[in-house]
Structure 1
Amino acid sequence: MALRAIFVPSLGTPLIHPRRLSSPAGLPVCSSNRQAAQGMAMRDDSKQEIQRRSANWPANFWDYKFVGSLGTEYSGERFVEEINMLKEKVKGMINAGNTQPLDKLELIDAVQRLGLGYHFEAEIRDALDPVRESYLNGGGSDVNNLYSTALLFRLLRQYGFHIQQEVFEIFLKKDGFGSLHQEDVIKGVLALYEASFHGVKGESIMEQAKDVALNHLKSLDMGKLKTFPNNLVRKVERALYMPLRWTSNRSEARWFTDIYEQRSGDEAEFA
């Protein structure tokens, strides 16, 4: 860096003026020029190649061509016809007018949790609307049944139908839910817990329902719960570990397939 001296005649000694310091480019050094010089240095550094660590992973052979070349024994025309036949059969079950509302709700819930709901979006929406009207008018489903109320609430909100949170007031005002070792009560509390995750911000009843249901489920004796059929203990453990609202469709379908295959005879037709 060059220094420019200023001679003072009276003293005869050179003084260095602070503002006469010059940069390598020959410019006077001031705050703006300092910033410009720093910018030039940064640009010079950016031109240098950045060295990154490598894990030396081998190339992925699962490319599109390889995946597309994989065959399946279920791609033949015979299987396509069978799939279409089964889809029409399920559509008929969903659209059936002589089905009890609770049976239809359980059917829709099973289809959805098996990962097949996207095949029947229109049929499910058309089926839920009359069930909702029947429930709100006091027909069909028992308005005093916690299980059917919670199941209806969850399905309606999943598919964008409006249903008020006040439907749970009658249950939360009661002194608990009765004996916790009754299968119907546990099914109802479990359904309430799953439904509570479909509450929106500001719905105090849904927040209360989640707290009450969670405390009840945590207080259960899992050893005694294993005496109930229909894998009830597995369903409770699954909900406490990962609520349905937080579960991906693929993982839920894989888990629920095992549960669905082990249905008891009295629920084999729908649930």
Structure 2
Amino acid sequence: MKLAGVTFISYSSVHTAAFSKRPPIGISVREAYSWKKNNKLSCTRFGTSLFMSTKCQSTSSSPLSIDDSTKLETQGHYSLLKSMLLHQGMVSDYDNNDQVTKSTSEELFKKVQMALKEPCDRSTKMRLIDTIQRLGVGHRFEEEIKLILQGLAEFNSGEVNLFDTGLRFRLLRHNGLPTSSDFFDKFINENGEIKDVSSQDTWGILSMYEASYLATNSEESLLKAMEFTRSHLKNSMPSTPPELQNQIGKALELPRHLRMAPLEARNYIDEYSQELNHYPALLVLGLVSIS
């Protein structure tokens, strides 16, 4: 995305950018120091990670400050928000910023709330909750999400595939609800190795990898599975599609539940907007939240 002569680098470009001359953002501490040493770039510490001081790179010779780049990124998100609202006829072209956010927020909230309450299969419901929380608007649906997750915690049968098993485990543990790692037993052996690794269910293996970080010290097979899935994901990256490569790269750098929520929301909003089956009301609500 370009705006006023500025090229934005989204979080999804972290691992592809590592192979170009342009320094990536959101890289790990070790990688940041390596970039700094090899390219003589300055880095600033933010939280537990290092972020390049040039979050977006100007096409001119003068680098932008962090404040300037953040303003431009926000303007870019707002432009996307306004375009979507105009397309859906929710605002007019003459509405100001406050009118856009205030007049539509409640309407969008009700639409997403209805989606959470509509009957559907567990897999669809879990993915919706995961998306809501990644977009940073989970606090607005605490009661609805809690009710759904409590139902999942009380459901004693396992899921039919590895992806949903990992997602269910991660959602319940991350939100403080009880669940057992025994549901993984039909997918992994006592050494943490996936029984049917030849199935090439890379999305499922990725889901289990992220779930394994929420295992307790007593869940040895799941802890062993962390090492097995990490190795498998690293080896599978060259042969996976770009979208999946991006997801794997980010997970290997930092599992999803450990990422800073505001930063994850800003990074994920662009990624979610590109998904063909995204829920428009939820996307716009996420944009309203960060804009």
Q: Are the equivalent residues in 2 in contact too, given 1:196–1:207 (CA < 8 A)?
A: yes
Give 1:209 shift. 1.9
The alignment's TM-score, normalised by the length of structure 1, stands at: 0.62
Task: Say if 2:235 is the partner of 1:219.
Answer: yes
- What is the deviation of 1:245? 2.5
Name the SS of the counterpart of 1:220 in structure 2: helix
Rg larger for: 1
Give 1:232-271 correspondences, 5 Å limit.
Answer: 232-264=244-276, 267-269=277-279
Judging changes above 3 Å, is the alpha-carbon distance between structure 1 residues 175 and 129 closer, same or farther for their aligned structure 2 residues? closer
| Residue identity in the other structure for 2:205 | V
- Of 117, 134, 158, 1:113 maps to 134
Amino acid of the structure 1 residue aligned with 2:121? Q
In 2, Cα distance between the equivalents of 1:197 and 1:212?
13
User: So what's the TM-score if we normalise by structure 2?
Assistant: 0.58
Q: Whose relative contact order is higher, 1 or 2, with alpha carbons under 8 Å and at least 6 apart?
A: 2
User: Which of 217, 221, 231 pairs up with 1:201?
Assistant: 217
Distance 1:175 1:92 in 2: 38
CA apart distance, 1:242: 1.5
Aligned length: 185
Distance 1:100 1:153 in 2: 17
The offset of 1:176, in angstroms, is 4.1
Instruction: Tell me which residue corresponds to 1:84.
Output: 106
**CA contact under 8 A between 1:166 and 1:205: conserved in structure 2?**
no
> Residue 232 of structure 1: SS of its match in structure 2?
helix
Distance 1:152 1:120 in 2: 18
1:211-256 deviation digits (Å, cap 9, x = unpaired): 121111111142x2126xxx21111111011211321001211221
Structure 2: runs of 5 or more not aligned: 1-66, 68-77, 79-95, 284-291
* Distance in 2, Cα, partners of 1:164 & 1:133: 11
Identify which of 173, 197, 218 aligns with 1:178. 197
Distance in 2 of aligned mates of 1:127 and 1:162: 13
Instruction: Identify unmatched segments of 5+ residues in structure 1.
Output: 1-61, 63-71
Paired residue secondary structure (1:152) = helix
Letter of the 2:241 partner, please give it: K
